[in-house]
Structure 1
Amino acid sequence: MLIGDVAQRSGVSVRMLRHYDKIGVLRPSARTTGDYRVYSDGDVERLFQIESLRSLGLSLAEVAAALEDSEYSPADLLDRLIVGTEERLAEEENLLRRLREVRTADPQRWADVVHLLPLLRGLQSASPVRRQLSAFGMNDDDASRLARPLAEAVLAESETNTAGALRWALRRTGDAALGALLSALDDTDPVVRRRAAQALADLESEAATAALTALLDDPDPAVRQRAALAVGPRGSDAARPVLLRMVIDDVADVEAAEALGALAAHRGTVDEVAEQVIAELDRRPVGDGARLRLAQTLAELPGAPALAALRRLREDEDPNVARSATYLVRLATRA
């Protein structure tokens, strides 16, 4: 049969048959003297096999592999198809939930629906670029109306740049997404709690600060650290031991030292915090890298005790500590 006959009988377009020939999935057994494609009965049978496999959701590459490789496992293939179908069903359920949320947002005009739906689809896209563009495409009103799905997108996001864009959009909702973020704090997955803590850190309301303060006792150290960096500068003294431990353990020590300084200044406890840092420094043996970080932390604590300690450290046995203390004293006295 010529290509037109095959197309008419199979329902597969001539264009698609030519594409199959080009990529090698289905090449006709012969050609006429005029170079027309001639398909045998076996070719037609293979075509129906191709279309049957494609109807299951296989890509053309998978179809080719299944037809050419005698050891290609149908069971493995079916398992992958089942997983893929389950994922698509989950996406459809997700879209249904999003549509209900658009309805909850009470759109007044078709233009509102037409505007909001692409943003929702973008948030649930498999492409991080599309998710990012969706976040950047929201105005303040969009973000507020889509606060919950936006929060859910933040909690699910693993790509760093996209996560930043989503949090940027979420900040524009104020406390509209607070409920979704607070619910995530009970999640058994520490990664979800970390994302929730990061998002809450961008909110400056009393409710967000209270939630972050509660996270200072979270079993996951990364959650505690994120919370401490956020609420320390807001004056939560409960963050002090976490921040000090971060300096000692070399975990975002510069940020932790700055947060300690801001905490002490906010509460008027600069000398008290300085004495705690000095006591911890004195317990560390020479050569312990934590001593250098603790010495540098003293520079974030203006006042007599911190300056006196730095002057004393200019004669420290550890040359790195001594050099750092000399430099920091010089800076402090110039000021």
Structure 2
Amino acid sequence: MDEWWDVVDASGGATGATFRRGDSGWPAGSFHLVVTICVHRADGTVLVTQRAPTKEFAHGWEFPGGSALAGESGTAAACRELREETALEVAPDALQWVGRFTEDSALVDLFTVREPARSTVRPAPAEVMAWKWLPASEVVELRQSGVMADPWGPRLDAMWPAAMATIRSGGEPPAVQLEAHRDSWETDYQREASRLVAALGDRVLAVEHIGSTAIPGLEAKPVIDIAVRVAVDTDPLALGPLLAATGYTQHRSGPKNHGVYTRERDGARTHILHAFASDQWDECNQRLFRDKLLSDPTAVARYREVKTRAARSSDGRAYTAAKSQVVQQLLDEERAARGLASVTAWDK
């Protein structure tokens, strides 16, 4: 039976194209979604499976998972793959999304989930030749021993610390997860900017990449922040209907001096759009803060130290509050260098 995948962009957005597994001619610069699931128990052990001899990467150990089928969400694919490989049945809302790893042609999403009650692992022989419950602390040792399926080394290096934090917290993911800077964030921004220009037309005068993902080498949450300057006769707080087709919704509790619109995938925020009136653009704090970080390596170091420490907070509001002092200091420095008066930093 043919297996078809959705072709998606770097942010996981649908391109409208599909691809049949095994065919040649994969579209360059495109991706398909892969899911993997770490099932854990209350005693801190996790389920690992060994790939069947007839499969690619035969005999390699891994977490259950596979490619999402055309039309399938990440959570639906995770539930299906877990059921097909192990006979474990979980509900989509029981899954906790941990993070994403970008490969040459795949976006790999890692989920964690508690072992469902009164369940028994019954591996499908065509998929799994062996399985075991392994202490979570020994997963890295398994990776270092060289017996894991080839793709899993880089995936574990990138995502296992966040997965461990989720497991230790009893299944709730840390509120703030910083990731090493990715070059693909700039590519993602460029693609998203093109979509926004197409949607807004002559109502937008400029589009720029802002936020930590715009700063090379700086750790960040995997959320792309974008600033747009709207035309003089356009209300930045009234772009909702124009942006709806691109997947954005208005963020009602955001700042009131400009429009804020967010885009999500499987319940996780992926993009934040900040829309500014034309006369706000030159003194916009978000742009000035970005410029400070781009031009001053010591500012990046100061900000990194604070945000890394703040990321250990138990909630997102505490993270933002912990950063507020250094953000204000750096913003004041940039505004003073431009001959601008100090103003209160934005409330994100």
TM > 0.5 fold call: no
User: Which TM-score applies when normalising by structure 1?
Assistant: 0.26
Structure with the larger strand share: 2
Structure with the larger helix share: 1
